[in-house]
Amino acid sequence: MELIDKLSILADAAKYDASCASSGAPQRSSRGKTGVGASNGTGICHSFTPDGRCVSLLKVLMTNFCLFDCQYCVNRRSSNIPRARFTPEEIVRLTLSFYRRNTISGLFLSSGIIRSSDYTMEQMIEVARQLREVHEFRGYIHLKAIPEADPKLLEQAGRYADRLSANVELPTLTSLKTLAPEKELGTIHTAMGQIREGIDAANDGARADARHPPRSANPKRQAPRYAPGGQSTQMIVGADATDDRTILQSAQQLYRSFRLKRVYYSAFSPIPERPAGLPQAAPPMLREHRLYQADFLIRTYGFQAEEILGKPGNLELDIDPKLAWALNHRDGFPVDLNTAEPGMIGRVPGIGLRSVQRLVELRRHRKIRFQDLVALRCRLETLKPFVVTQDYRPADAARDSQRLRQTMTEPQPAQLALI
């Protein structure tokens, strides 16, 4: 099979993984050196496909042959789809070609499981090894960790990769049992735990190096790097009946236990050869979007999953989770921007973290006025009922949350002009 045909099949097979980040890698540059590639911590989207998704990495499977039969997966063994397999050299060639043309910032390599988990992991490591050692490639590498593989192999993978990820795919044990009978949550968690230990140990080593720099500049004498861009995982949304609260609680647990950099949510897209019991509906993209918003509140605003969703169920689709939370906690509002703790200002819907910073900085010099919120381009219509400034108090502070919710979700009637 020609390389271009393999690429067509194996990129198509890899598109179900939502992660395409190239951020979080350490500073690397090829200036004045042989080899190619750089990374500087911030990701670059080199293109966008018409689904609005960022193209940052060459995202392919090494092969879509697979021994497993995970029901939600297009590549499961019982699926009647075209199959292909790259050689390590072919993946290396594609990565370098695309990288030099500036269409990607690195490689995200995953694979179906062939022969054995160890064999599959070894083949993926071989690709990373060739890139790093033979071609001195300093761009981004994200490898999928095969949880069942020998811990020694995960160790090796982390030496070459900027990021490792093991996908939990399904948020609960029960759904994993029914939909991915050959996968085990225990094994996935063990692998994540091991990756976390590797990252922690490398970080300790790096800190020790920073305190007592080794005398030689030889990188071999320095603490070895291990997946410096951290680890991530993915959960599929909408393939089973799990609710958002359970999904967010699992995510929160994963952030805490394994210090994941990111949990990705992937709205289940209808696949060819769909097994019975899986939805044929369009992917629930709005639900996925709300989950990302809620996840962001957990990661950066200090919300707990249980605060965002007090009882079992899903996030509201018509308003974002921060606004929903504020409407359910009217007793904490309005917030006086001139006196409130920064953390509380961050909880005002319509005010983002950057604006919080700027308001706190500004109020050291003078009182905050409503006009400042205009200048900072905060979402005025949203925040109005929730803030107090030197010259402004919400008129509808007394209005009940139900009515307020209605005005915020329904389209506003057109303004009437006076004649």
Partner 1 sequence: MIDSPGTSTLIVAYASDFDGWREQARQLLKAGIPPARVTWRDGSDRNDDLFSMGAESLPIAPNAPTPTIARAHLQALSRAARYRTQPHEIGRWPLLYQTLWRLSRGDETALNAADETGAEVQRRQHAVKREAHHLHAFLRFHPDADARGECFVAWFEPAHEVLDLGAEHFADRLGSARFRIATPQGGVEWNGEHFTYHATCPREWRARAQSAASADEDRALWRTYFVSTFNPARLNHKVMTQHMPQRFWRHLSEGDLIPALEAKARHGGQRLAQEASVGERKGKALPPARPERDADA
Q: Pick from 112, 171, 230, 346 the residue near ligand SF4 by CB under 6 A.
A: 112
Q: Is 156 in the site for partner 1 (CB under 8 A)?
A: no
51 or 331: CB nearest partner 1: 51
* Binding positions for partner 1, 55-114, rule CB under 8 A: 55, 58-59, 63, 65-67, 69, 74, 77-83, 85, 94, 97-103, 114
Residue 321, binding choice from partner 1, ligand SF4, none, Cβ under 5 to 8 Å by partner class: none
Q: Is 4 in the site for partner 1 (CB under 8 A)?
A: yes
Could you tell me the smallest distance in angstroms from the CB atom of residue 240 to partner 1?
Answer: 18
113 or 337: CB nearest ligand SF4: 113
Centroid of chain to Cα 267: 13
Distance in angstroms (rounded) separating the CA atoms of residues 336 and 387:
6
Residue 70, binding choice from ligand SF4, partner 1, none, Cβ under 5 to 8 Å by partner class: ligand SF4
Q: Is 276 in the site for partner 1 (CB under 8 A)?
A: no
Q: Is 29 in the site for partner 1 (CB under 8 A)?
A: yes
Residue type, 74: V
Question: Which neighbouring-strand residues pair with 266?
Answer: 236
Planar angle of CA 236, 239, 241, nearest 5 degrees: 110
The DSSP symbol for 105 reads S
Q: What are phi and psi of 194, to 5 degrees?
A: -65, -40
Please name the residue ranges forming H helices in 214-337: 244-258, 285-300, 305-308, 321-328
* Binding positions for ligand SF4, 51-90, rule CB under 6 A: 66, 68, 70, 73, 75-76
Q: Pick from 185, 223, 278, 285 the residue near partner 1 by CB under 8 A.
A: 285
Could you tell me the smallest distance in angstroms from the CB atom of residue 372 to partner 1?
Answer: 4
Residue 213, binding choice from partner 1, ligand SF4, none, Cβ under 5 to 8 Å by partner class: none
Distance in angstroms (rounded) separating the CA atoms of residues 319 and 339:
28
Residue 73, binding choice from ligand SF4, partner 1, none, Cβ under 5 to 8 Å by partner class: ligand SF4
Residue 31, binding choice from ligand SF4, partner 1, none, Cβ under 5 to 8 Å by partner class: partner 1
66 or 161: CB nearest partner 1: 66
The first and second tokens of residue 413, run together, are 């009637």
Distance in angstroms (rounded) separating the CA atoms of residues 358 and 367:
13
The edge-to-edge listing of strands for the beta sheet with 163-165 is 58-61, 106-110, 140-144, 163-165, 231-237, 262-267
3-state secondary structure of 193: helix
* Binding positions for partner 1, 202-221, rule CB under 8 A: none
CA 110, 116, 117, 122 torsion: positive or negative?
Answer: negative
Residue type, 236: I
* Residues 57 and 139 sit within 8 Å (Cβ to Cβ): no
Residue 361, binding choice from partner 1, ligand SF4, none, Cβ under 5 to 8 Å by partner class: partner 1
Using CB under 6 A as the criterion, which residues of the chain lie in contact with ligand SF4 when the complex forms?
A: 66, 68, 70, 73, 75-76, 112-113
